[in-house]
Amino acid sequence: MKVVLFCGGLGTRIREYSESVPKPMIPIGHQPIMWHVMNYYSEYGHKDFVLCLGYKANIVKDYFLNYKRQAHGDCIVEGGKVEMLGAPEEDNWRVTMIDTGVWRNIGGRLWAVRDQVRGEEMFAANYSDGLSDVNLDDMIAKFKASDKVGCFLAVHPPVTYHLANIDADGRVKEFITSDKSEIWINGGYFLFRPEIFDYMNEGEELVVEPFQRLIAENKLMAYRHEGFWRSMDTLRDRQVLEDMIEKGEMPWRVKASASVKPRKT
């Protein structure tokens, strides 16, 4: 299954970084957040990526054209020779980089790469700025078994506010945290059948007009996820993810998380 990654936005809410690099290239640990997203899909066996470039496209291209895996992987240096220990996931990636222009929105970027997913039974798409431990195999299976054209990951907003349930007369019925509420937002992980382009017009924002057409024909589904999800919209969000990596807590690393066994008490 091909994976379309939107990586051409300006990232205005995290401008301190995005003025010098595209938002998906902002590092989390030693690698850009986009690498973590790509590694997530790769661990599920999906290694054919289509990158929709835009803002500072040359930086993304340079990263992949001049990737030095010895700078990130375990290695042995002896004299002038470098021996890598283990084969990293990215050795098997196929990365197609398409410059979709700085001016395009998400829908416009997807429209611009429609030929790249032509003939696919389905394909994935991602905003490239959020991490999750969602079971992708299950999400794909449920979408495949449906008659829907589009599917998006539905998550609870990661806010610390307590939500108030208030009657019309002002009586407070309860306070609940966001993770216990029935508020769901778009988590930026998508699955589509190629028929999605029949519901789109060039220049339209993906989750606005096209999604409204899908909804009108009952062709859009949501996959609810109660587990880990975090987008990197602000510097605080980035720090949260950085802190998790420093502690070795990376639920989005599917294989690593599966290999960790609970301690016996």
Please state the domain extents for the chain.
2-155+184-259
CA–CA gap between residue 254 and residue 250 (Å, rounded): 9
Q: In Å, how far from its chain's centre is CA 256?
A: 18
pTM: 0.84
pLDDT value for 164? 80
pLDDT value for 250? 95
pLDDT value for 265? 34
Exposure of 187 in the CB half-sphere (CA atoms within 13 A) = 28
162: left (phi > 0), else alpha (psi -120 to 50), else beta? beta
Burial class (CB in 10 A: 0-12, 13-18, 19+), 175: exposed
CATH class for the domain made up of 2-155+184-259:
alpha beta
Burial class (CB in 10 A: 0-12, 13-18, 19+), 165: exposed
pLDDT value for 22? 85
Length of the chain in residues, anyone?
265
pLDDT along the chain (265 residues), means of 10: 89 61 89 95 96 92 75 61 58 91 92 95 96 97 98 87 81 75 90 97 94 98 95 90 94 70 39
Residues 6+ apart with CB under 8 A from 34: 5, 7, 24, 25, 60, 128
pLDDT value for 81? 64
pLDDT value for 234? 86
Q: Are 30 and 73 in contact (CB under 8 A)?
A: no
Helix (H) or strand (E) holding 41: helix 33-43
List 220's β-bridge partners, or say none.
150
Angle, alpha carbons 217-221-222 (nearest 5°): 150
Q: What is the dihedral of CA 132, 138, 141, 144, to 10 degrees?
A: -30
CA–CA gap between residue 109 and residue 10 (Å, rounded): 14
Q: Are 42 and 90 in contact (CB under 8 A)?
A: yes
pLDDT value for 264? 39
pLDDT value for 8? 78
